[in-house]
Amino acid sequence: MKKFSSDFMIGAATAAHQVEGNNVNSDFWTMEHIPGTMYKEPSLDAVDHYHKYKEDVQLLVDAGLNTYRFSIEWARIEPAKGNFDNNEINHYRQVLEFCHQNNVTPIVTLHHFSSPKWLISEGGWESESTIEYFGNYSRYVVSELGNLIPYICTINEANMGKQITKIMKRMTANGSNSANKDNSVDVQVGLNVDMKAKMETYYRELGVAFGIDPRNVQSFLSPRTENGEIIIMKCHEKARNIIKELNPSIKVGITFSLYDHQALPGGEPYVEKEQYEDYLNYLPFLQEDDFLGVQNYSRKIHGPDGAVKPDETSRLTKMGYEFYPEALGNVLRFVAKYWDKPIIVTENGISTDNDEERVEFIERALAGVYQCLEEGINVIGYTYWSLLDNFEWQLGYAQTFGLIAVDRSTQTRYPKDSLSFLGNIKKAGLNGLKV
């Protein structure tokens, strides 16, 4: 019987903006509502997790899971620069306390893509001032809630801006007026790349909305310069130092979006370049971290001319990724070559309307995790993405990653078989499981 140890964390993940609803002081809310928006629909009430978190966490608990990764929304905590909202910090205190009451280990992300609107008007993620602002926010959260938080991910997918930069460069090189839809699957986040024609109006309105030159609107999901890369890692270091100063017992890490890069003959230089850019070049900033968050959804194959697209026989997910759950185990092995501290799989999942496919994905992915444990790799947890069907950024609500479906007209929850399946893996192990 392939059974995970009792202290191995298995659960699910969410991000505040994608599930809570009415994140009105955030940059994303602003971008969703401007004329010419790139968002297929606005987030609005999302799935109202802000008010229904007890029901949602209870469903996780009832399935037999013991871990919940979620993010605290900076735009709620600090809706105006320097003004911290005590009511909002108390809300997250209640979420954390509910987790502890139910023996659920909370893994808290301080920044999961969305930022306060004011931060972007101040220069956003290309501005040195953001380092200090992020430090102030981190200090407030940890001084208020640190005794309830065992694990903190400072920043979600710190390498995402770089991955988006690569897409934009490819689009420009292609010279296409309408971005090739294939580009959207080159990044593990919901982006709408049918954009070129709308860009001019959109950027003009962005500048109006944030009160700055539109070229200076730098949200976390903007293409990143090398200086912006360093700013993000300095934000991580700043937060980590503050967390350790306030509460040394908190385990601190960061998460990265990592593909399983595979080489056909002649593709090895491309793989090495991608692995360096996605992961290896960040390692100097991580030496004092306690754990690393790995986020993986699929693989990329590289030939002598670069990336090779899946052919028409390949099985694809609803997001257009190749269905390849074995990617996770491969990525963990790659990461562990350069990292001997604990690893948490902070995201791994599939968007599909066929829950049997989700069950298969989870079983195969976790078989890979189990094999890594057998090989001595220091994996300590797995949180499936996502607990709930939710707002997939620019793609809106059409994507379905969740273990729980939601009828947004009534906000009624409908747990899928995959939720109990994942819980059964936690309780009974992998062998011959049936829901």
* Catalytically annotated residues: 157
Alpha carbons 290 and 354: distance in angstroms, whole number: 37
- The SS3 of residue 384 is strand
Instruction: Please confirm whether the linkage preceding 386 is cis (ω < 30° from 0).
Output: yes
- CB count in 10 Å sphere of residue 330: 19
- CB count in 10 Å sphere of residue 79: 18
Structure-token pair, residue 80: 């105006």
| 132 Cβ contact partners less than 8 Å away, ≥ 6 residues apart | 238
| 360 Cβ contact partners less than 8 Å away, ≥ 6 residues apart | 325
Cα dihedral sign, 183-404-251-79: positive
Q: Which of 291, 294, 288, 262 is nearest to 275 (CA)?
A: 262
Secondary structure (H, E, C), 303-338 = ECCEEECCCCCCCECCCCCECCCCHHHHHHHHHHCC
Torsion over CA of 220, 396, 398 and 36, rounded to 10 degrees? Answer: -120
